[in-house]
Amino acid sequence: MSATRRSLANADDTAMARNNEGAMTNGNNESLPNLLSRLGDDVMQLINSQLALFKVEMKEEANAFARRSTMIAVGGVIATIGFALLNVAIAFGVSTLFASAGFSQPASYALGFILTGAFYLIVGGTLMLVMKNRLSQQQLVPPRTVQELRKDKQWLKSEL
């Protein structure tokens, strides 16, 4: 990614050097068609560099999003296994409390599993909402590209 940024910077530097050389050799004697042609070339090069920057930023954002989403999925699988095992252990522990209260063995098991399952549903739902909110805070619009486009818009307004 940094190599792409360096190549974009080198392309911009090369274009600026070419434009400066052309301005120095031709002086103020350039004709209007030549100036318009150069302006058109410069605008096209500017658009191309903006598109390249946009592509780089979108790849970075997509990779970050994919990594975070994958880690959420892996964490969810591991948590599910842990919740299942812990749920069984806690349910059996809670069912012993109901058994000592005089409930039959099937009823105490059922109550133990229901209460434990409800607790884990609440914890899991909370975890999913927190992670969903974190993902929704990620910016989908590349800020550097938008900033560069605004600068270029101002430049074009001042040139025309």
Cα dist. 39→107, 122, 143 in Å? 83, 62, 26
**Residue 49 clears pLDDT 50, i.e. is over it:** yes
User: What pLDDT score was predicted for residue 12?
Assistant: 55
User: What pLDDT score was predicted for residue 13?
Assistant: 58
For 135-157, the pLDDT digits (tens) are 888 777 778 888 888 888 888 78
DSSP string, 81-94: HHHHHHHHHHHHHH
**Residue 41 clears pLDDT 70, i.e. is over it:** yes
For 55-113, the pLDDT digits (tens) are 998 898 889 889 999 999 999 999 889 878 887 888 888 888 888 888 888 888 888 88
Reported as a pLDDT band with limits 50, 70 and 90, residue 20 is low
What is the number of structural domains in the chain? 1
Q: 115, 80, 83, 109: which is closest to 96 by C-alpha?
A: 109
Q: Which range marks the domain in which residue 131 is found?
A: 2-159
